[in-house]
Structure 1
């Protein structure tokens, strides 16, 4: 069985493009097999949904509830897709047992490529390369570097690191910052960043760079190949990384983009595959490849550090890397299960979605869809066509290789940002110190008066009660929980945006206080109406000035809305129709291999 997970493929776009002949492989698969929209999970966030796909359980049982979780002990925030623990390294917060491990335990050969929410990889009998959740070499989810001679960049709040260089000098030397080295236990010792020297020469119409013996010449609009970096430490083994450069411009200012520095798959500082040698074996077959869990750099594109041509060409070579990995895996494959995950369609739609796209598609068809989105879907179709051709060679003795293609969710407009903490404040549930509130508050709940706060929001769909016995400064008694949640829920459902008159929230789900991850669970999950999404300020525990504001960012499409409004898709080759919900796919796959879907060990941590 071959399973292709393509993040964010939307049924409305798929159907329009199939009808107009732009997705021939998908159209043929629909005609020969089965196709349907696929019910997603509440909330429809990628780490939540892919965790449900892998384990066959809901968030209550696998413990991934949002992109961002809060710690009830100190109200601090952390990413849900991986966790850094001092003295331990990285651990995987996800509970449950993935279906590929069950298959491998039953003796089925398994290969999993770019698996979401699987870092660090667990030890089992199959082969797995982790994907979403792998940080960059600095421990971030992707922090780029911009080298520029334009002084205006220093006045901007960038999501990456800026290296300023002289506009007049024909030759520039700078240090490319890498991982942070701890200062140790000595008094006065300070942490410092390891770095690699880069020599840059500006010529007419191009630049030339020398990096640890590797020579690169770039013209505007060109990418370098992957560059190997070695960060040397005095008393320890060196740390190896990789990066690529993209030259945006030379005139009137130098603008050189560097990807986040990533684990070298041939020598990762932490294992990114199981067995540990698998990532290096793949690199020997296909060359160096991106290892960052979320590799397409939306941050750099939003900041303007990467232009549209650079972003779209980055999407192309990332999809091609995935394609080469799948192609090599299918070479000679004739038994077991292969799963390959493709992340790129999701961030492409985040960046290039246009308002009222689905409404305009009804009149204009494919002409309404922005070109980069059309291109991403067509490239997924080409990957499917190649996979279909490959697995036809494995069909033998009347046996047909099963094939499934699925996405975790669809897409919707993101026209307005909703400040949930502002609403909770205005309704009397969240209290701020007045000196902070007058300045718009701050992230990470800075300035919250917990002694007067009954509810607070963080992440992209989560509202928590300040519950006594759970939160360190909790004031809400467990006896008042249900009544208070119902009050907040009713206010959310009744709320209409002043500027539009539209209902902002379609549904809000009250979560039960049970399951192995109850302390991690939000109390209320907000399902926004399409066109509305939580603000970036709320996501980080801040409070905005207005409850609803126009979305000013390039990030115009999203899926973190009412789950029934953003179903995914599922295609199946073979006689067995697919399940209608993504949570049921795990059991469906196990059944195809006659492996019992026995009760999951819900509290098992897959990284241990």
Structure 2
């Protein structure tokens, strides 16, 4: 069989809810062509629908129970400490490694959670969670010179959410558009020079703009008369989608008619209504006991003395406006673990049981008592109703084994809340939080941005090419994409892949390979980020407003 070629374009957080109407209006001609001529449909993200979890599943074809990734900064199941994720802790081989082992050369650009880069049969420039733009993000290192030649202004992300002088909204929007252009030039330059049969590039701007400008988008969509700069902010999301559409068109044209082009998002996007404080939910149910203020002060002082700089900086980033009062408090300080039976695990709406023999101050015995506590957590969280809407927040609280499976399961939260409409911010520490279960989100100012938009599990999938039929996907999930790419390339698929090949979109001449490749869910490479790298990642995520 002649070597086929596949190009994959990631549009972080992109949603058909926006693509379809703007395509119908003629504003997204390239994406409209995919909708008319190719395959399309929604693409269900991971639970949780958070970029590190979703992109890790995309890269490996494995669910979080095998990758071990559910959040940007994960609380350990065996302690009350947190650490940043990186490719060093992602279990499983990336699908471009699998293809490379079968003779398919690849090129990867800006896929999140790929730093530090893993060498393979091809080149990689790592994406989100890379500490900086330098040779350390490239494998082989010399491909960094190709990147700089193609795009001297290349940036990993938009890293401006606060500015002491200028209108930060204007700065952010213009920077976002520049980042898209630089990413497009980088992708075109690297693709033209290396012509890899497998090429993957991810654009994150569609996620960032929705986080910070959804309120203006909603106002404009509702017909509000926005004046002055706000009129442009009301069109900000559309402007970014239009720029991404141009990038898609340029890349697809460069790939040519003999290349199958797949477009996906790791999750969708939508508005945020308010925040929910899971700690307060558990406390009011008698499952979590909060420390007295004096005990919290002591915890802060002890933490400041003994905690590694990386974790202290992470806490400072989460606290933002509260740093003057408690600059180095750990996210889980203020909890009396000697009397607590369950506590939130991170920004993913996961919840740990404080288990004896696992956590340092575990209070719950394994077995029957553990299951009883999980039942109590489910009952408490599923009973929470938003008084403003009269509707429950949770669609369901899942036991971890109900939604994940694999060798990393024991490291993940014991339960996870799946929201009914994903309208609620669940971050552990938010400067707007008070003593209530619900709290209003902080509002953007002239000099500082805050999240006003969030995620949805329903992302998008589009495909067009010589081996793609005009069709709609059937219950497609993000884990299906790597399996489908390997099938298009004629590569064997690992036997433990969780995704399926999207056979409904493939032409009859594509023979779906068997699952005969070795298992993918191998332990992650043993490598730690340096202290300098951790600080750089923290500052980058702080600049993006994620922590």
TM over 0.5: yes
User: In 2 relative to 1, CA 274–9 (structure 1 residues): closer, same or farther, beyond 3 Å?
Assistant: same
**Residue 327 and residue 516 in structure 1: after superposition, are their counterparts in 2 closer, same or farther (change >3 A)?**
same
Q: Aligned partners of 1:552, 1:283: CA distance in 2, in Å?
A: 38
Aligned residues: CA RMSD: 3.0
Q: Which whole-Å CA distance do the structure 2 matches of 1:34 and 1:72 have between them?
A: 41
Q: Does 1:551 align with 2:441?
A: yes
Matched residue, 1:592: 488
Residue 314 of structure 1: aligned partner: 175
SS of 1:402's equivalent? strand
SS in 1 for 2:42: strand
Q: Residues 550 and 476 (structure 1 numbering): CA distance in 2 closer, same or farther, change over 3 Å?
A: same
Residue 530 of structure 1 aligns with which residue?
Answer: 421
Q: From 521, 524, 530, give the equivalent of 1:605.
A: 524
Of 353, 374, 378, the match for 1:485: 374
1:361 shift after superposition: 6.8
2:108 corresponds to: 112
1:375 aligns with 2:294: no
Offset of 1:547 from its aligned partner? 0.5
Q: Which residue of 2 aligns with 1:86?
A: none
Paired residue for 1:471, among 349, 359, 363?
Answer: 359
- Whether 2:392 is the aligned partner of 1:494: answer no
Q: Is the 8 A contact 1:416 1:531 kept in 2?
A: no
Say which is worse superposed, 437-446 or 276-285, in terms of deviation: 437-446
**How far apart, CA to CA, are the structure 1 residues paired with 2:270 and 2:294?**
34
Q: 1:390, 1:470 → 2: CA distance?
A: 53
- Aligned 1:230-241 pairs, distance under 5 A: none
Worse overlay, 275-284 or 410-419? 275-284
For residues 39 and 429 of structure 2, the distance between their equivalents in structure 1, rounded to whole angstroms, comes to 41
Distance 2:199 2:521 in 1: 24
* 2:352 and 2:413 in contact (8 A); partners too: yes
Whether the 8 Å contact between 2:219 and 2:234 is mirrored in structure 1 is no
1:438 Cα deviation after fit: 9.6
Tell me if 1:300 matches 2:196: no
Residues 1:94 and 2:99 aligned together: no
CA separation in 2, counterparts of 1:438 and 1:331?
A: 57
Structure 1 residue 525, shift from structure 2 partner: 1.3
- Displacement of 1:538 in angstroms is 4.1
Say whether 1:449 aligns with 2:311: no
Residue 419 (structure 1) shift: 0.4
The 1:298–1:573 alpha-carbon spacing in structure 2 relative to 1, beyond 3 Å, is farther
Residue 420 (str. 1) matches residue 282 (str. 2): no
Tell me if the contact between 1:354 and 1:556 (Cα under 8 Å) persists in the aligned partners: no
State the distance in 2 between where 1:112 and 1:134 align.
14
Alignment of 1:72-87 (within 5 A): 72-80=77-85, 82=86
Give the drift of 1:552. 1.9
- C-alpha deviation, 1:40, in angstroms: 1.2
- Is the contact made by 2:45 and 2:478 (CA closer than 8 Å) also made in structure 1? yes
Q: Deviations over 1:467-486 (max 9, x none)?
A: 11211111112212233222
Task: Spell out the pairing of 1:157-196 with structure 2 (5 A cutoff).
Answer: none
Summarize the Cα distance change of 1:470–1:543 in structure 2 as closer, same or farther, 3 Å threshold. Answer: farther
Q: How does 1:261-280 map to 2 (within 5 A)?
A: 262-263=132-133, 265=134, 268=135, 271-280=136-145
Q: 1:570 aligns with which of 451, 457, 462?
A: 462
Specify the SS of the correspondent of 1:349: helix
The equivalences for 1:250-399 within 5 A come to 262-263=132-133, 265=134, 268=135, 271-291=136-156, 295-297=157-159, 299-300=161-162, 307-331=168-192, 336-354=197-215, 357=218, 370-392=234-256, 395=257
Cα gap change, 1:8/1:515 in structure 2, threshold over 3 Å: closer, same or farther?
same
Q: Provide the secondary structure at the position in 2 that maps to 1:476.
A: coil
The structure carrying a bigger helix percent of its residues is 2
Q: How does 1:52-71 map to 2 (within 5 A)?
A: 52-71=57-76
Aligned-residue offset at 1:356: 9.2
> Higher strand proportion, which one?
1
SS in 1 for 2:391: coil
Distance 2:216 2:388 in 1: 16
* Superposed displacement of residue 602, structure 1: 1.4
Q: Look up the match of 2:512.
A: none
Return the offset for 1:543. 7.8
In structure 1, what is the equivalent of residue 124 of structure 2? Answer: 128
SS in 1 for 2:118: coil
User: Contact 1:360/1:368 (CA < 8 Å) preserved in 2?
Assistant: no
Paired residues of 2:289 and 2:337 also in contact (CA < 8 A):
yes
1:487-541, CA deviations, whole angstroms, 9 ceiling, x for partnerless residues?
211222221123443322222221029632234201111122336323444479x
Question: Would the alpha carbon gap of residues 305 and 73 (structure 1) be closer, same or farther in structure 2, given more than 3 Å must change?
Answer: farther
Q: Secondary structure at the match of 1:375?
A: helix
In structure 1, C-alpha distance between the alignment counterparts of 2:422 and 2:467, rounded to whole Å: 38
Residues 534-577 of structure 1, C-alpha deviation per residue, up to 9 Å, x if partnerless?
3444479x98411001112333444446x3xx333333334435
Paired residue for 2:34, among 23, 29, 32? 29
8 Å contact kept, 1:470–1:519 = no
> How far did residue 333 of structure 1 move?
5.7
Distance apart, 1:357 and its partner CA: 3.5
Instruction: Give unmatched runs, 5+ long, in structure 2.
Output: 1-5, 226-230, 298-321, 445-449, 496-518, 528-547
**Residue deviations 1:381-425 (CA, integer Å, cap 9, x gap):** 101111222122xx4xxxx21011111111121121000001111
Task: Decide whether the 8 Å contact of 2:352 with 2:415 is kept in 1.
Answer: yes
How far is the alpha carbon of 1:39 from its aligned partner?
1.3
